[in-house]
Amino acid sequence: MNETSTAAPTLRRELGLWTAVSLVVGTVIGSGIFLVPKTMVLAVGSPEIVFLIWIFGGLLSLAGALTYAELAAAMPEAGGEYVYLREAYGRFWAFIYGWTMMWVAKSGSIATLATAFFYYLANFYPQLEPDWFHIPVPLGPGGGSLPVSKGQILAMAVIFLLAGVNYFGVRFGGGVQVVVTIIKVVLIGAVVVLGLGAPAGTTANYSTTVPAAGGVAGFFAALVAALWAYDGWNNVTMVSGEIRQPDKNLPRALILGTMSVIAVYLLANAAYFYVLSAAQVGATDRVAAEMMRAVMGGQGAAAVSIAAMISIFAALNGSILTGARVPYAMARDGLFFRSIGTVHPRWFTPANSILALSGWAALLVLSGRYEQLFTYVIFSSWILYGMATASVIVLRRKRPDMVRPYRTLGYPVVPVLFVLVAAALLLSTLRTSPRESLMGLAIIAAGVPFYLRWRRDLV
C-alpha cells in the first residue's frame, strides 16, 4: 500500500473569497440587530447616543479586523486566535483560549443565536414560549428547578440540523452560508427601504428620549449589546486552513465584511428610529418586527420575523462551521481529546469537533435568558480578543522575520486602542454584570487542571 493511501486525511482549501466574506457578514449579522436596540436605548436614553455607540462599536470591530488581517495572512492555519496566542504567548494561553471558546464563548454564542431563533418563531407559534416541563436541578430562577420550553427544544434541534450540514463537507457548509447570507442581506435591505420610506416616519424620532441609567455604566452596557451584534467578525480566521489564497483572501474578507456590517447596522437603526420613538423601541424585544408592524401591519411584522430567522440561521451555520476548527486545532496539538482532532476520511471535515461543539451548545440553550447569554459570551470573548490583538505587537518583536503579506493599517495605534477599550469594557462588565462575568471566569479557570493533564502527555 503506498504512502498516500495510508496518510491521515487533512482539511482542504476549498473556500474562496466570497465564501470568506459571507462568513464574516453572515456570522456577524445574526440576531443582534433585531433584538439589542431595546437594551441600548434603555441604557443610554436617546437615539443619537445609540448611533454613536453603533459607530464606536463598529470602528472598534474594524480595528480588530485590521489587526487580525495581519495575523491571519501570516499564519493561515485552522484555529484562528488559538494559533496567534500559541505563537505569541505559548501553549498555555492558546489552550485557555481554545478551552474558553469550546465551553463558553463560541458554544454560548451558538446557544444565544438558537435562543433568538425561537423567539422570532414564537411570533407564529406562541405556544413555544411557556414552560413545558421542569428539570429538577437548582439552576432555574431563584435557585429553583430549571424550566424548559418547547421553543428551547426546537432551538436545540436547529443546532443539530446545522451540525449535520457542516459534517458533510466544508464546501457544502460554505455554499449554504453564501446563499443564506445573500438572502438575509436582501431582506434586511428591504426592511430598511420600507422603514425609511414610511409615510408615518419622522426625523423628530431621532431626538426623542427615554429614562435611562446613562453615564459610564449606561454607555458600557449599551456597548456590550452593540458588540454582541458585531460579534463574529473574527470567525473567518478559524477556517484559515480551508481558505484558498489566504494571504490575499483573508485580509480582504475581514476588512470588506466588517465595513459592510457597519453600514447595514447604521441603515437598519436609521429605519427603526425613523418609524419608532425611543420609548417605542425601548418597549419591544423585537424592534424590527414592531417597526414593520407600524409600516405594514401584521403582515409586515410576520415578514420581518421570517427575515430575522433567516439571518439567525445564517449566523448559526457560520458559527458552527468556523467554531469547530478551534477544538480541532487544540486536539491536533495534543491539548484536547485526541478524537476531536481527526478529519473525516470521506468529507474532510473535523467531524467529531463539529458534533462535540454543537452538542455542548445545545445544552447551553437551557442555561438562561437572551440577555444573560450575550453578556456571558461577550465578557469571555473580549478577554480573548484583547490578548489576540495584542499578539500582533508581541509577534512583531518576537518574530520580526515572519512573512507578513499584509501589515496592520495604523500600527501600533490601532491594536493598542483596541486593547485599551477591551480592558475598559471588561472592567465595566465585571462591575455591572458580576454573575455572568464570574461564570465565564470560573469556566476559564476550570481549564487549568485539564491543561496540566494534557501537557504531561506532551512531555
The residues pairing with 148 across neighbouring beta strands, listed in sequence order, are: 133
Q: What is residue 161's DSSP assignment?
A: H
Contact 252, 17 (CB under 8 A): yes
Tell me: pLDDT of 375 over 70: no
Residue in 42, 40, 38, 371 with CA at minimum distance from that of residue 212: 42
Q: Is the pLDDT of residue 433 over 80?
A: no
Residue 121 is predicted with a pLDDT of 87
Please tell me the predicted confidence (pLDDT) of residue 337. Answer: 92
- 149: helix, coil or strand? strand
Burial 217-230 (b: 16+ CB within 10 A, else e): ebbbbbbbbbbbbb
Domains of the chain: 16-458 (1.20.1740.10)
CA dihedral of residues 321, 351, 324, 74 (deg, nearest 10): -90
More confident site: 67 or 446: 67
Mean pLDDT value across residues 40-59: 94
Q: pLDDT tens digit string along 268-291?
A: 999 999 999 999 999 988 898 899
pLDDT at 146: 77
Residue pLDDT, tens place only, 250-265: 999 999 999 999 999 9
Asked whether the beta carbons of 79 and 98 are under 8 A apart, the reply is yes
Q: Measured in whole angstroms, how far is the alpha carbon of residue 136 from the centre of its chain?
A: 31
- Joined grid coordinates for residue 424: 475598559
377 and 231 Cβ atoms separated by less than 8 Å: yes
Is 117 within 8 Å of 312 (Cβ atoms)?
Answer: yes
Q: Label residue 1 by pLDDT band (50, 70, 90).
A: very low
Q: Is the confidence at residue 216, as pLDDT, over 90?
A: no
Q: Over 50: is that where the pLDDT of 363 sits?
A: yes
Residue 376 — pLDDT band, cuts 50, 70, 90?
A: low
Q: Each residue of 130-160: pLDDT tens digit?
A: 788 878 776 666 667 778 889 899 999 999 9
> What does the pLDDT average to over 377-406?
88
Which single residue is written with the C-alpha cell 443565536? 113
Per-residue pLDDT at 377: 63
Q: Is the pLDDT of residue 435 over 90?
A: no
Burial of 14 (0-12, 13-18, 19+ CB in 10 A): middle
In this prediction, residue 335 carries a pLDDT of 93
Report the greatest alpha carbon distance in the chain: 76
**Pairwise CA distance, residues 322 & 257, whole Å:** 15
User: What torsion, rounded to 10 degrees, do the Cα atoms 344, 350, 351, 354 define?
Assistant: -170
- Single-letter residue type at 444: I
373 versus 13: the higher-pLDDT residue is 13
Query: Is-contact 25 181, C-beta < 8 A?
Result: yes
**pLDDT tier for residue 200 given thresholds of 50, 70 and 90:** confident
pTM here? 0.86
For residue 214, what is its C-alpha cell? 446613562
Helices and strands, counts by H and E, the chain:
20, 2
Query: Does residue 327 have a cis peptide bond before it, meaning omega lies within 30 degrees of 0?
Result: no
